Amino acid sequence: MTGRLALILKGALRALVLPVVRQAARHRQLRRLARVLLDRMPALERRVRAVLFRDAPLPPRRMHVPLDSDDLSPATQALYKELKRHFDRRKG
């Protein structure tokens, strides 16, 4: 019973704290403060990094992909249509 309660409390704590940490991590000064703290407490680094990284979307990569399916070569467009058919079926 105690173990179950601890699990529930842990889950609730995560649900409350993680959004706050993620929101805080958006602010540059707090990120700098976090870096200073991490320098002093390296053991925390992996755990905190995991939280920060999960909130930091990767910058998009510049890809040379057409922006419109009508712009694709016929061969690529055929593949696009086949993919779309499968994805539409998934939605349906």
Partner 1 sequence: MRIVIDLQGAQTASRFRGIGRYSMALTRGILRNAGGHDIWIVLNGALEESVTQLRADLAGLVPNERIRVFETPGRVAEMDARAAPRCRAAEMLREQFIAMLAPDVVLVTSLFEGFLDDAVGSVGTFVDGIRTAVVLYDLIPLLNPATYIGSPYLRQCYMRKIASLKRAGLLLAISDYARQEAIEALGLQPERVVAISTAVDESFVPGTSTRADMDAVRARFGVTRGMLLCAPGGYDPRKNIAGLVTAYGLLPATIRERYQLVIASRIAPAERQALLAHAARSGMTGSDLVLTGYVGDADLIALYQAADLFVFPSLHEGFGLPALEAMACGTPVIGSDSTSIPEVIGLAEAMFDPRDPQAIADKIADVLGDTALLARLREHGGAQAARFSWDVTARRALRALEAQLAACPPPPRPTSELCEALARLPGLGADETTLLQLASCLAALPDLASAPRLFVDIGAVAAPAGRASLDAVVRRLAHAGAQAPDVVAVALSQRGGVWHYRYADGQAAALAALPCPPNPGRVADLRSGDLLLRAQADSPAAAAASADGLFAHLHRTGVELHCLHAEIPAQV
Check if the beta carbon of residue 31 is closer than 8 Å to that of residue 25.
yes
Q: Given the complex with partner 1, which of 19 and 66 has the nearer CB atom?
A: 66
Q: What's the min distance (Å) between Cβ of 9 and partner 1?
A: 17
Least Å distance between CB 74 and partner 1?
A: 6
> Which residue number, 28 or 47, has a Cβ lying nearer to partner 1?
47
Q: What is the 3-state secondary structure (H, E, C) of 21-66?
A: HHHHCCCHHHHHHHHHHHHHCHHHHHHHHHHHHHHCCCCCCCCCCC
Count CB-CB contacts under 10 A for residue 30.
13
- Cβ proximity to partner 1, 2 vs 73, nearer residue: 73
Query: Which residues are at the interface with partner 1 (CB under 8 A)?
Result: 39-42, 46-47, 50, 53-54, 56-69, 71-77, 79-80, 82-91
